[in-house]
């Protein structure tokens, strides 16, 4: 059975040989034109004059477009229609596209795009959280407030008060393949190749820009060279620009951002300032928390509201908090529009409560792991416990938004990793080591993850599939998910192969195509395999039942006696190869294609009130990280990581472990070396890998032990698996906490290590710990 097998990525051979094609690798028709944007050079201002004559006169330039040249919609926004393709009179951030160059080569377009002369009257630029708060520059009018119980009273009555501020930095996706699109004019329509996690949104935006109904635009996504959320909405501009250019010229148009342009134009992970006030009793039990989230959203709304919501939804992480108040300020700034990034606010929300735990442990003098345990949600009690609690569920199972936590397993999972990572002995050994090393200090920490699975915009939790069995027994299938490296197509192929009892090689997963499966949701929220896998299985089941009914007739048995296994169809005494059975069904005029459709059950969510069941289930994991710091320079390394993570019954353990390792390292980058810096004029100074440092090979933990938690999902997900895309990123909070522990080993005071923990931040924390 292919489900559960550690099969290689379906494009692995193409990847290593260099033959897997990305959009910029596709052969293009003769006469293909190339596009580049001319960008705003200031953060906020009114355009008073645009002299584009030098742009038009530059070698190779075919056309130059400004907002008024656009024939239909000038809108590439994901949500609120507040994001024009080309600026309309006012620019809102440094790097905003103002005009579009169409030229006969990529380099000609890039060169010409720098020749625009634009005069502005500068307006005050709101760049920081403080400036936005002072100016009242925000989305949704005012803060979103969720309250559960009376947090103020709980904190006031508590034995211990823990308060502070923690800021989490922005993060650039740094997908290796930059944003790119290619539009090919078709008869009364447009075909678009886009490096996008959301082909349906590309379709909708292109259609609106061309004055077409959706059916006239076909969007195809074979693969992306990485996405991480950065291609959920940020590819819209390129696809629309190419489509507009292609319709106007009748020629194919391609656009790809140079890396510096990519980082200057596109959105990043939201940076947060989290203010916390928490009350603990004498035993370290949390009584109430008051969080204020200040979220820098950038110049357009994009996906900021659901991102900020998800941060609020993860403000509890693994802990039962009897009273909680969260105030979430969604601030509008004249910077890149912050967007989706793996975890989608979850990491920031979780960072807040884990900081509270770290700080409380320091203040109360209780071991941080012990403190965490004392506050865990009630354990669900093994995988055989009933999936739903009885009516009188204890309060200790309910989140601050009213969803009972019925599958909690971190008690057992943390016990297990504590043992397998030899946590206690290592902690003691490290304490001894630290006492005899004055220059270098080591630290170790264990942090848990509980991450909610489902889109919080409930209607997005749907997926479609189209499965086609050809007369030779080969299977081609399409589904709504996109492949960005996460191995989704391989997992889906395994689901289909299992449904028909055939070898994985007999199944081909086609490029994602809006003309095959319509109205798809973004491949996001870790939902790809959950939603599309189920839709594909349902389509396969339909076809299999048709074949089974036919073969039952042929063999003279009842349909239940027909089964599919090992590439064969068994019916009573008889056996057919799958191909024979299919050929026979074809001759009997039986339909061998089917659609499948799946909608996640049982979701109910009122985002205004912050109440309901936004998540179908939770994914869990825990990590132990060990680090070393240099107390003279702040330099630091991860020495070892141990991870135990729950992916339910894995569809493909190799791919799942890959997601866990990769997510952890990406999260570690966010919290250590990756620092985005803007200057006072709103210019992003770190706009290339020379200045923005994602982890390199030697930054990974030297010892890196990853294991999967046994058992299946309690909920009826695809083969009882669990989503894996985002949750492991947050395992890296253990890296930051281990660094904090190493800093704390330098002196008696609370080090309050900042994020990202650059050498500079670590050195500052060391000096705070010492009281210097």
Partner 1 sequence: MQITFLLNGETTQYSLSDASVTLLDWLREYRGLTGSKEACREGDCGACTVMLSDATGSRAINACITLMAQLHGKALRTVEGIGNSAAPHPVQQALIDQHGSQCGFCTPGIAVALAAAHLNGEHDHDAALAGNLCRCTGYAPIIRAAESAAAQPVPDCMHEDAKALAATALAQISSGGCGGADSPPAYLPENADDLAAWLLAQPSSTLVAGGTDLGLAVTKALKPLGEAVFLHRCADLQQVTTSADEIRIGAGVSIAQLLRAMAKPHPAFAALLKRFASPQIRAMATLGGNIANGSPIADAPPVLIALGARVHLRRGDVRRQVALEDFYLGYRKQDRTPGEFIEAVTIAARAPNLRAYKLSKRFDQDISTLCAAFNLSAKAGRISEARVAFGGMAAVPARARKLEAALIGQPLDDIAEGAVSLSLGEDFAPISDFRGSAAYRMQAAENLIIRYARDLAGEAVSVLEVAS
Residues 593 to 612 in contact with partner 1, rule: CB under 8 A: none
Hey, what are 100's tokens? 């579009």
Shortest distance, CB of residue 115 to partner 1, whole angstroms?
11
In 3-state terms, what secondary structure has residue 341?
coil
Report in angstroms how near the CB of residue 705 gets to partner 1 at its nearest.
10
Task: Name which position in 665, 708, 753, 765 contacts partner 1 (CB under 8 A).
Answer: 665
Binder to partner 1 among 149, 630, 707, 720 (CB under 8 A)? 630
Binding map of partner 1 across residues 470-499, x = CB under 8 A, - = no contact: --------------xxxx------------
| 431-to-285, 442, 507, 530 alpha-carbon distances in Å | 26, 8, 55, 44
Task: Please indicate whether residue 726 is annotated as part of the active site.
Answer: yes
Is-contact 652 675, C-beta < 8 A? Answer: no
- Quick check: 694 binds partner 1 (CB under 8 A)? yes
Which residue's CB is nearer to partner 1, number 227 or number 349?
Answer: 227
- Regarding 613 and contact with partner 1 (CB under 8 A), the answer is no
Give min distance, CB of 601 to partner 1, in A: 31
CA distance 35 to 56: 13
Of 121, 161, 685, 716, the one binding partner 1 (CB under 8 A) is 685
Nearer to partner 1, 56 or 693 (CB): 693
Which of 114, 388, 396, 563 forms a contact with partner 1 (CB under 8 A)? 114
Stretch of residues binding partner 1 (CB under 8 A), selected from 16-24, 116-124, 330-338, 377-385: 16-24
| Residue 384 binding partner 1, by CB under 8 A | no
The minimum distance between CB 242 and partner 1, in angstroms, equals 18
Nearer to partner 1, 301 or 532 (CB): 532
Binding to partner 1 (CB under 8 A): which residues in 696-715?
696-700, 702-704, 706
SS (H, E, C) 501-535: CCCHHHEEECCEECCCCCCCCCCCCCCHHHHHHHH
Nearby residues of 296 by Cβ (< 8 Å), 6 or more positions away: 128, 129, 132, 170, 270, 271, 272, 331, 333, 335, 338
Selected binder of partner 1 within 335, 348, 527, 636 (CB under 8 A): 636
Min. distance of Cβ 768 from partner 1 in angstroms?
13
The smaller minimum CB distance to partner 1, of residues 84 and 728, is found at 728
- 667: phi then psi, degrees, rounded to nearest 5: -65, -40
Q: Go through 728-746 and write b for each residue having 16 or more CB atoms within 10 A of its CB, e for each that does not.
A: bbbbbbbbbbbbbbbbbbb
**Which residues inside 399-428 make contact with partner 1, applying CB under 8 A?**
426
CB of 423 to partner 1, least distance (A): 12
According to the binding rule CB under 8 A, does residue 21 interact with partner 1? yes
- Catalytic: which of 674, 675, 715, 726? 726
At 639, list the tokens: 């020495």
Applying CB under 8 A, among 274, 324, 655, 718 the residue interacting with partner 1 is 655
DSSP 381: -
Nearest residue (CB) to partner 1, 285 versus 426: 426
- Out of 4, 5, 8, 590, name the contact with partner 1 by CB under 8 A: 8
Among 254, 270, 362, 442, binds partner 1 (CB under 8 A): 442
Told to check if 435 binds partner 1 by CB under 8 A, we report no
Q: How far apart are CA 315 and CA 451, in angstroms?
A: 11
Q: Give 275 or 426: the residue with its C-beta nearer to partner 1.
A: 426
- Residues 22-41 within binding reach of partner 1 (CB under 8 A): 22, 24-25, 27
Q: Which two tokens stand for residue 334?
A: 């004249």
Q: First vs last Cα of the chain: how many Å apart?
A: 62
d(CA 16, CA 761): 39
**637 binds partner 1 per the rule CB under 8 A:** yes
Report yes or no: 269 and 170 within 8 Å, Cβ to Cβ: yes
Tokens of 50: 């645009």
**Residue 693 engages partner 1 in binding (rule: CB under 8 A):** yes
Residue 713 Cβ, how far from partner 1 at the closest point, in Å? 23
Q: Would you say 22 or 214 has its CB closer to partner 1?
A: 22
Q: Which is nearer to partner 1, 227 or 306 (CB)?
A: 227
Instruction: Determine which residue in the list 673, 713, 721, 734 makes contact with partner 1, applying CB under 8 A.
Output: 673
* Closer to partner 1 by Cβ: residue 260 or 565: 260
Q: Where does this chain touch partner 1 (CB under 8 A) — which range of 455-463, 543-551, 569-577, 628-636?
A: 628-636
Which of positions 738-767 make contact with partner 1 (CB under 8 A)?
A: 758-760, 763-764
Min CB(631)–partner 1 separation in Å: 8
Closest contact distance (angstroms) between CB of 182 and partner 1 is: 13
| Identity of the residue, 672 or 721, whose beta carbon is nearer to partner 1 in the bound complex | 672
Q: Which of 352, 648, 662, 682 binds partner 1 (CB under 8 A)?
A: 662
The Cα 735–Cα 66 span in angstroms is: 47
How do 611-613 and 568-571 pair as beta strands?
unpaired
* 726 scored as a contact of partner 1 (CB under 8 A): no
Helices and strands counted in the chain (H then E):
19, 29
Q: How far is the CB of 686 from partner 1 (least distance, A)?
A: 5
In which residue are the tokens 């209607």 written? 459
Tokens of 176: 């290796």
Question: Judged by CB under 8 A, does residue 383 bind partner 1?
Answer: no
Distance CA 387, CA 717 (A): 13
CA separation for the pair 453, 724 (Å, rounded): 9
Q: Pairing relation of β-strands 45-51 and 90-91?
A: antiparallel
- CA angle (233, 236, 237) in 5-degree steps: 125
Among 90, 133, 216, 639, binds partner 1 (CB under 8 A): 639
Closest C-alpha to 581, from 570, 591, 596: 570
Residue 317 backbone zone (phi > 0: left; psi -120 to 50: alpha; other: beta) = left
Residue ranges in 205-264 that form contacts with partner 1 under rule CB under 8 A:
223-228, 258-260
Segment interacting with partner 1 (CB under 8 A) among 105-113, 317-325, 465-473, 549-557: 105-113
Beta bridge partners of 502: none
Site for partner 1 in 161-190 (CB under 8 A): 173-178
- Of 689, 711, 712, 747, the residue at the interface with partner 1 (CB under 8 A) is 689
Stretch that binds partner 1, among 14-22, 93-101, 365-373, 582-590 (CB under 8 A): 14-22
Output the DSSP codes for 104-122.
Answer: SSHHHHHHHHTT-EEEEEE
Nearest distance from C-beta of residue 735 to partner 1, angstroms: 12
| Residue among 457, 400, 461 at smallest CA distance from 610 | 400
Cα 489 from Cα 479, distance rounded (Å):
9
90-91, strands of its sheet edge to edge: 90-91, 45-51, 117-122
Q: Which of 627, 619, 628, 615 is nearest to 733 (CA)?
A: 627
- Burial degree of 25 (CB within 10 A; 0-12, 13-18, 19+): exposed
Q: Is 193 in the site for partner 1 (CB under 8 A)?
A: no
Q: Which residues are catalytic?
A: 726
């Amino acid at each position: 059975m292919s489900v559960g097998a550690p099969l290689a990525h379906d494009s692995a051979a193409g990847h290593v040989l260099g033959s897997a094609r990305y959009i910029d690798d596709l052969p293009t028709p003769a006469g293909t034109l190339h596009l580049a944007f001319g960008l705003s050079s200031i953060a906020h201002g009114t355009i008073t004059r645009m002299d584009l004559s030098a742009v038009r006169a530059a070698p190779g330039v075919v056309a130059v477009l400004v907002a008024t040249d656009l024939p239909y919609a000038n809108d590439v926004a994901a949500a609120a229609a507040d994001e024009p393709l080309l600026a309309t009179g006012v620019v809102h951030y440094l790097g905003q596209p103002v005009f579009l160059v169409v030229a006969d080569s990529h380099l000609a377009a890039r060169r010409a795009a720098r020749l625009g002369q634009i005069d502005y009257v500068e307006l005050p630029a709101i760049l920081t959280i403080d400036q936005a708060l002072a100016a009242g520059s925000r989305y949704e009018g005012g803060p979103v407030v969720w309250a559960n119980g009376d947090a103020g009273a709980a904190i006031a009555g508590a034995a211990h008060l823990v308060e502070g501020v923690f800021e989490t930095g922005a993060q650039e996706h740094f997908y290796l393949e930059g944003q790119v699109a290619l539009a090919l004019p078709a008869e009364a329509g447009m075909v678009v190749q886009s490096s996008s996690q959301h082909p349906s949104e590309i379709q909708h935006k292109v259609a609106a820009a061309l004055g077409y109904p959706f059916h006239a635009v076909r969007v195809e996504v074979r693969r992306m060279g990485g996405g991480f959320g950065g291609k959920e909405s940020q590819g819209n501009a390129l696809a629309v620009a190419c489509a507009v250019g292609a319709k106007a010229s009748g020629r194919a148009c391609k656009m790809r951002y140079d890396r510096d342009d990519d980082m200057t134009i596109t959105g990043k992970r939201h940076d947060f300032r989290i203010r916390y006030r928490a009350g603990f009793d004498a035993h370290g039990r949390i009584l109430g928390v008051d969080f204020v989230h200040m979220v820098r959203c950038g110049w357009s709304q994009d996906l900021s509201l659901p991102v900020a919501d998800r941060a609020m939804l993860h403000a509890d992480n693994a802990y039962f908090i009897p009273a909680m108040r969260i105030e979430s300020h969604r601030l509008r700034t004249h910077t890149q529009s912050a967007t989706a990034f793996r975890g989608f606010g979850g990491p920031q929300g979780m960072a807040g409560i884990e900081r509270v735990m770290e700080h409380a442990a320091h203040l109360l003098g209780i071991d941080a792991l012990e403190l965490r345990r004392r506050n865990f949600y009630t354990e669900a009690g093994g995988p055989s416990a009933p999936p739903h609690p009885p009516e009188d569920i204890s309060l200790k199972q309910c989140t601050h938004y009213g969803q009972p936590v019925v599958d909690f397993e971190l008690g057992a999972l943390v016990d297990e990793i504590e043992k397998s990572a030899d946590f206690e002995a290592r902690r003691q050994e490290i304490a001894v080591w630290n006492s005899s090393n004055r220059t270098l200090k080591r630290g170790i920490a264990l942090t848990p993850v509980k991450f909610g699975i489902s889109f919080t915009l409930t209607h997005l939790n749907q997926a479609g599939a189209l499965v086609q069995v050809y007369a030779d027994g080969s299977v081609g299938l399409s589904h709504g998910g996109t492949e960005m490296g996460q191995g989704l197509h391989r997992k889906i192929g395994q689901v289909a192969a299992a449904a028909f009892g055939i070898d994985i090689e007999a199944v081909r997963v086609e490029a994602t195509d809006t003309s095959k499966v319509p109205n798809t949701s973004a491949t996001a929220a870790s939902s790809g395999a959950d939603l599309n896998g189920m839709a594909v299985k349902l389509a396969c089941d339909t076809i299999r039942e048709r074949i089974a009914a036919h073969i039952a007739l042929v063999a003279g048995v009842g349909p239940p006696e027909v089964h599919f296994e090992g590439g064969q169809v068994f019916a009573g005494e008889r056996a057919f190869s799958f191909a024979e059975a299919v050929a026979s069904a074809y001759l009997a005029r039986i339909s061998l294609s089917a659609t499948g459709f799946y909608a996640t059950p049982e979701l109910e969510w009122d985002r205004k009130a912050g109440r309901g069941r936004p998540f179908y289930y939770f994914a869990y994991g825990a990590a132990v990280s060990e680090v070393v710091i240099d107390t003279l320079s702040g330099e630091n390394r991860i020495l070892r990581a141990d991870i135990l993570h729950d992916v339910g019954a894995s569809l493909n353990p190799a791919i799942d472990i890959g997601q866990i390792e990769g997510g952890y390292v990406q999260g570690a980058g966010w919290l250590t070396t990756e620092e985005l810096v803007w200057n006072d004029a709103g210019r992003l100074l770190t706009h290339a890998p020379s200045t923005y440092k994602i982890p390199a090979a030697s930054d990974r933990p030297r010892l890196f032990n990853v294991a999967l938690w046994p058992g299946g999902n309690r909920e009826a997900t695809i083969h009882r698996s669990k989503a894996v895309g985002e949750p492991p990123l947050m395992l890296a909070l253990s890296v930051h906490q281990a660094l904090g522990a190493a800093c704390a080993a330098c002196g008696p005071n609370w080090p309050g290590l900042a994020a990202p923990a650059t050498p500079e931040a670590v050195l500052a924390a060391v000096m705070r710990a010492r009281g210097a």
